[in-house]
Structure 1
Amino acid sequence: MNETVKMAGVSKRYGNATVVGDVSFGLHAGETIALVGHNGAGKTTLIKLMLGLIRPTDGLVRVLGENPATGDFVARQRLGYLPESVSFNMALSGRETLRFYARLKRVDIAAAEELFERVGLAPEAVDRPVRTYSKGMRQRLGLAQALLGTPRILLLDEPTSGLDPALRRSFYDLITELRGKGTTVLLSSHALTELEGRTDRVIIINNGVAIADGTLDDLRRIARLPTRISVKLSQMDVAPRWANGGMKWCRNEDGVLAAEVLPDRKVPLLHDITADAALISGLTITEPTLDDLYAHFLRTQVTK
């Protein structure tokens, strides 16, 4: 895949404080990446480095082949950015705001008008002052300005903050559309649950260090966390052979047996369970979530 962002051995220090330490990764065209970590972990600093707003103390940052801090305007024009806390001139209308940013970015103002519908900003709101907007409406306006000029790279910091569930779904539909067109999308978010199934890759940052990087399947394989298997029995008093395999099974009042199974035991156990198909009326497999993996990698880093 075509690499759009490269960070190699990047560190950022302010005096004696190291905010980012020796971080290396590449982002690629058509890839959606979740950048996750607690407040102060270094996520926003990494985004600012990609934008060229700050320069690394050590290491190399390249965006579309250019140094973002010194590169030409054309490369920066292909970047879209939505900060965590959007801030606009409250006296301007939504239309005036987007036209202002279109002129700054030197993109077609007429094309900017189409973005209001794409981000779900109602026509009756477009010509109202931004001071009358709710937080969600300002967030949608911020997303519209990030999309100006059909960017090749989108850097979105807490992009769904203030959006209701329906608009969150619309937002991720838009991200899927952009990904299909080859846009690199970096999502920095605390909303780990909603990121599952919507990103190709997860980078976990803690104390300025990238402690994990890979697909969800990659991270599950590395973490070796147990999978929860729940089996609803067709008969309450039955004692299946596979329930005597040395694992701790818990049975509830509805006749459901549940156990946590390590990765190397999962497939053989499922084979045994499905071989006794007449004994089961339901089967649920719950893999470790992104929340589980995030907590695991944080614990692992602390105990090293």
Structure 2
Amino acid sequence: MKKILFLIAILLTQVGFCQNFQSEFLKYCQSKDTLNQLKVLEEWKKSNPNDSELFTSYFNYHFSKSRKEVIELTTNQPNGQSLVLKDSLNKTAGFLGSKIHYDQKEVKKGLVKIDEGIKLYPNRLDMRFGKIYALGQILDWNNFTLEIIKTIKYSATNKNNWTWTNNETRNSTEKDFLLDIQTYQMQLYNTGNDELLKNMREIANEVLKYYPNHIESLSNLSITYLLAKKYDKALEPLLKAEKLDPKDYIVLSNIAQAYNLKGEKQNAIKYYEKTLEYGDERAKKYAKQQITELKK
């Protein structure tokens, strides 16, 4: 009995040390004291090299350290705040603004650490999402996509029984997980880069491999074909989505648009009328305008 109590005491002491390291690290993160951050991480590694929070902390340390803000003079207005420079005729000559640059060596160090963490703790969704976030920030869209696909695949293995910080159970559903994946899909779409349509398509197809009735992914898949002017290919997933939910006005509106672009006016009107029946005010207004145009 004494041996058991002694073992419990050791375990509790180790947990206490890990929590102290974690709180110390966070304290130095807030003060942006990178020297003491590294000191804590090195001591933490000696004490408990396989602590899950050590890997996320190392990742945060390297990724934060990689981020550099530089002042840049450009002829095009940059995102965010900028200073407008005028010439002698009071015409805009350029813009002075800040640009975020990432030190690739530091990024790589962070990615190595988070990969070690994911290998030891494959159910830690925050580790996976943290890596995806970083890849998106450095605009590494191919690895961004690959990491999302890996996460989707693993969601089928662990049945979406994910954990989060401190290995606590993440009380979320399959629907919540797919909503997160949808956010990443929109991140790709919002770049406005048509070359990334294939990345969206790969993710949508991977989702549908395991969740064949996911309407949002069916819609995403159709959008990649619509923008590529492959209207018949776009209609296939949309018509499947309509069977799953005949009242989804976004799907109905997209079907109408596909038929419209394809030149099939009667089918386009038919689906715009369905949009009028089930859509919100904005969708109804747009559908009404399109019907008027198509009937001219």
Q: TM-score range by the shorter chain?
A: under 0.3
Asked which structure has the greater CA Rg, the reply is 2
- Higher helix proportion, which one? 2
TM-score, with length taken from structure 2 = 0.27
TM-score (normalizing by structure 1): 0.27
Higher RCO (CA < 8 A, seq sep 6+): 1
Task: Name the structure where strand makes up a greater proportion of residues.
Answer: 1
